[in-house]
Amino acid sequence: MKIALMGNPNVGKSTVFNVLTGSNQQVGNWAGKTVERKSGIIHRANEEIELIDLPGTYSLTAYSQEEIVTREYILREKPDVVMAMVDASNIERNLYLVLQILELAPRVVIGLNMMDLAKTAGITIHSNKLALALNVPVVEITAAKGQGIEEFLAEAIRVGKLKKDPIADDVPYPEELENRIQAMERLLSDTIWATKYPLRWLAIKRLEQDPEIGQTWKSIPQTNQRNRSTDPCCDPGDPVKYELQESVSLPGEALLQAYEAEGWNKDHFEMAVADAKYKYISKILPEFRVNENPVKRTWTDKLDEWILSPFWGYPIMVIILSLVFWFSFVASAPLGGAVSEAMAWAADVIVVFMQWGQMPEVIQSLVRDGIFAGVGAVLAFVPQIAIFFAFFSLMQDSGYLARAAFLGDRFMQLMGLHGKSFFSLVSGFGCNVPGIMATRTLEDPKDRLITMLINPLIPCVPRLGVMSAVVAAFFPGSRGAFIMVSLLLLSMLLVMFSALFLRRVVRQKERSAFVMELPLYHVPTIRNVLLPTWQKTYSFLKRAWTFILVASIVVWVLSSYPQGVPMNETWAGKMGGWLAFIGQPLGFDWRIMVAIVFGFTAKETTLSTLGILYGVAADASQSIAQAMTGAMTPLGAYTFLVVYMLYIPCLASVVTTYKESRSLGWTSFGVAYNLILSFIIGWLIFHGGQLFGFQ
């Protein structure tokens, strides 16, 4: 059995999905789309059920990838039943999507969530009367407390096993609009699509000249010899190749032209249909909703007076983000140190056993100086990453992150960006990969592309960890805090400059409006915080045992062979010699250049590479940074920090940018831009510092 989980954003859909599927989840992308695809397997009563968490959306038009993906899944995959989540505290807007779902899927069960919040707001919903009004089963749930979720699933399974599809009432449209819909239905009734899609829905979409439906109609089989004058359509499911035939007239084209002559264009039809649906909702609303007076002020109203205040909102946001970064980078330091010590102890134990087994010295060196020195230095960042993502999930699940994006919209507008870009940039502090993927919330493709390209300028947790170690070695005490703040400010300034620059490079016809729903505040569930945290941390750990492990072994080989020669005469030393002419103007020695090159595989490998090249054990990243003090001056160290913070994003970020943008050209441009920008800024800082007498 296939069950689709649908609903508006922020209605508790993720909570229900996580409770039902637990760890049996698969996360990926929909084929040909950059929209996240979540599915999970559930076992109930000896039956296997696939639960698909469809993207949150407000409607089923064709204006965003989320809407297209959700609609296409219902149309083409035809799930056995749809579980439609509805926010009881905002039921009027939520029912608009439900009416659209009922046009496509005959088997629907409504999960009425947030009943407690509705009651607090002075709203009473009679679920049994709602079920009668729509002729659809309704189950009351409180997702945040785990109440009613199993009953919701059980009802969905029952409906999915019905022998006949329930018949839902059609939305009554005004007579003039209804006559036009029926006329289009008659024209389409003989086409092959009428056997595949609901005819009434198909007629409405044809009147609205839906662009996705239009493209499907224009696809004509290359080898098909149908008479186009009588049968201008084809079966999109036929196993034949298609080509776009712009000259082919779509079904009902003449009728649409006649309607346009009467003033009924595509926008007119779309607005008329939407208006009719909302009027129908307003008509049936009194049957099941009771507004009690006086309406109580909710906790959301009280908190938003402060959090969204133009005076207090920004200081509160700074305090919250500062706490997040403090816990991520300062409070987690003892945990990172414990991981480093544990890795050093494990390396010693393994080497002792290897010596007892009389294994060759070269193998012992590989394990101690290659694998453990490389991977061990990187695993020390795991506590930082886990804590950051835990706080990020906490802010998202509580409803605060949407408020932060709202407050950040003013700064985003100064940069020529959309307010939702704030999500991407904040995510980038944890890891640029989810930061780039977070651009999916942006509807405009140009806003998405620009935000993608500037995201790698945000220093991620691994980069911040390496930077912190270097800062502590070269700038001890209070100077270190000043240096770190200056680096972050420089990053922000360059993000703003780059956004304004790219706004001119990436052409855009018109800006999209900033529209974002502010969900009600609620206490985050442990599952909704820990599950995303584990998924993101596990993704990082997989990288540590793939990219970083391989890179550490490669660096060890390059720095160990030929054996018996000084380090600068090894293969790594020769590579550094070839790159020396690039690093000399910036005060970098060959070790720094080799580390920068290997940092492309993953930013964490910079520290492990330096540990191997400087011959420092894996027991403390601090000692690696201290070993650098003999290789460069404080000015050179600051230049290194700037270049390291800004230069080429890691391989995973580059691959993610390509997958999200689907453009090799823009991906290459982003890599080249970061590389050139980092070395220009580094050169200016190094030579500017020398000009003013800094060393």
Q: Long-range contacts made by residues 473-480, C-beta under 8 angstroms, separation at least 24?
A: 473/622, 473/625, 473/626, 473/628, 473/629, 473/637, 474/625, 474/628, 474/629, 474/634, 474/637, 474/638, 475/634, 475/637
- Given a contact cutoff of 8 angstroms between Cβ atoms, the answer to whether 634 and 695 are in contact is yes
Distance from C-alpha of 556 to C-alpha of 370, rounded to nearest angstrom? 5
Strand order in the sheet with 81-87: 25-29, 36-44, 47-53, 2-7, 81-87, 108-113, 138-140
The predicted-structure confidence for 584-639, as pLDDT tens digits, reads as follows 888 887 778 888 887 776 676 677 677 667 766 444 444 565 666 666 788 888 99
The per-type count for the chain, helices as H runs and strands as E runs, is 32, 11
- Given a contact cutoff of 8 angstroms between Cβ atoms, the answer to whether 555 and 612 are in contact is yes
Whole-model pTM: value is 0.66
Other CB atoms within 10 A of residue 302 CB: 11
Other CB atoms within 10 A of residue 188 CB: 19
In 3D space, the residue among 694, 167, 666 whose CA is nearest the CA of residue 479 turns out to be 694
Residue 362: both structure tokens together: 């070269």
The position carrying tokens 């414990």 is: 338
Whether the link from the prior residue into 294 is cis, omega within 30° of 0, is yes
Q: Residue 116: which residues within 8 A CB-CB, separation 6 or more?
A: 142
User: How much of the chain is helix, strand and coil, in % rounded to 5?
Assistant: 65, 10, 30
The predicted-structure confidence for 466-514, as pLDDT tens digits, reads as follows 787 778 778 877 787 788 888 888 988 998 898 888 888 876 554 555 5
Residue 566: both structure tokens together: 């000084």
- Given a contact cutoff of 8 angstroms between Cβ atoms, the answer to whether 6 and 70 are in contact is yes
Question: How does DSSP assign 172-186, residue by residue?
Answer: PPPHHHHHHHHHHHH
- Given a contact cutoff of 8 angstroms between Cβ atoms, the answer to whether 85 and 113 are in contact is yes
Distance from C-alpha of 62 to C-alpha of 33, rounded to nearest angstrom? 14
Q: Block means of pLDDT (10 residues each) for the chain, length 695 residues?
A: 90 87 68 69 86 88 78 88 91 90 91 83 86 91 86 92 82 88 86 79 86 56 38 38 42 81 85 90 89 66 84 86 76 75 81 83 76 69 78 82 79 74 77 76 78 88 78 77 85 89 71 62 78 76 67 76 75 80 81 79 70 58 60 83 86 79 87 91 90 77
The position carrying tokens 């069960």 is: 109
Q: Residue 504: which residues within 8 A CB-CB, separation 6 or more?
A: none
Strand runs (DSSP E) across 196-255, as ranges? Answer: 219-221, 242-244
The position carrying tokens 């100077």 is: 479
- Given a contact cutoff of 8 angstroms between Cβ atoms, the answer to whether 565 and 622 are in contact is no
> Which DSSP helix (H) or strand (E) runs through 52?
strand 47-53
Q: Residue 510: which residues within 8 A CB-CB, separation 6 or more?
A: none
Distance from C-alpha of 291 to C-alpha of 294, rounded to nearest angstrom? 9
Question: How does DSSP assign 463-514, residue by residue?
Answer: HHHHHHHHHHHHS-THHHHHHHHHHHHHHHHHHHHHHHHHHHHS--S-PPP-
pLDDT at residue 601, as a whole number = 66
**Domain limits, the chain:** 2-160, 175-264
> Which DSSP helix (H) or strand (E) runs through 280?
helix 266-288
* Identity of residue 273: V
Residue 446: both structure tokens together: 């140009």
Query: How far lies 652's CA from each of 459, 648, 667, in Å?
Result: 15, 11, 12
The predicted-structure confidence for 369-419, as pLDDT tens digits, reads as follows 667 766 766 677 678 778 877 888 888 788 887 788 788 777 777 777 767
The position carrying tokens 């950051």 is: 388
Crossing angle of helices 400-414 and 313-326, in 10° steps, is: 110
- Given a contact cutoff of 8 angstroms between Cβ atoms, the answer to whether 447 and 436 are in contact is no
- Given a contact cutoff of 8 angstroms between Cβ atoms, the answer to whether 427 and 439 are in contact is no
CATH number 3.40.50.300 given to 2-160: yes
* Identity of residue 102: L
Compute the residue count for the chain: 695
Q: Residue 269: which residues within 8 A CB-CB, separation 6 or more?
A: 177, 180, 204, 207, 208, 209, 259
pLDDT at residue 35, as a whole number = 67
The SS3 assignment for 312 reads: coil
In 3D space, the residue among 488, 468, 431, 378 whose CA is nearest the CA of residue 651 turns out to be 431
Q: What are phi and psi of 648, to 5 degrees?
A: -40, 130
Crossing angle of helices 461-474 and 605-613, in 10° steps, is: 40
81-87 vs 25-29, strand pairing mode = unpaired
Query: How far lies 125's CA from each of 91, 188, 324, in Å?
Result: 9, 40, 39
Q: Residue 518: which residues within 8 A CB-CB, separation 6 or more?
A: 304, 308, 399, 402, 403, 406
* Identity of residue 86: V
Residue 602: both structure tokens together: 């993953």
- Please name every residue paired with 221 in a beta bridge, in sequence order, or none if there are none: 242
Residue 530: both structure tokens together: 């820990």
The predicted-structure confidence for 521-564, as pLDDT tens digits, reads as follows 777 778 778 877 887 777 767 765 666 677 777 777 877 788 77
Distance from C-alpha of 238 to C-alpha of 227, rounded to nearest angstrom? 17
The position carrying tokens 């995959």 is: 77
Whether the link from the prior residue into 649 is cis, omega within 30° of 0, is no
Residue 341: both structure tokens together: 């010590």
Residue 234: both structure tokens together: 């084809």
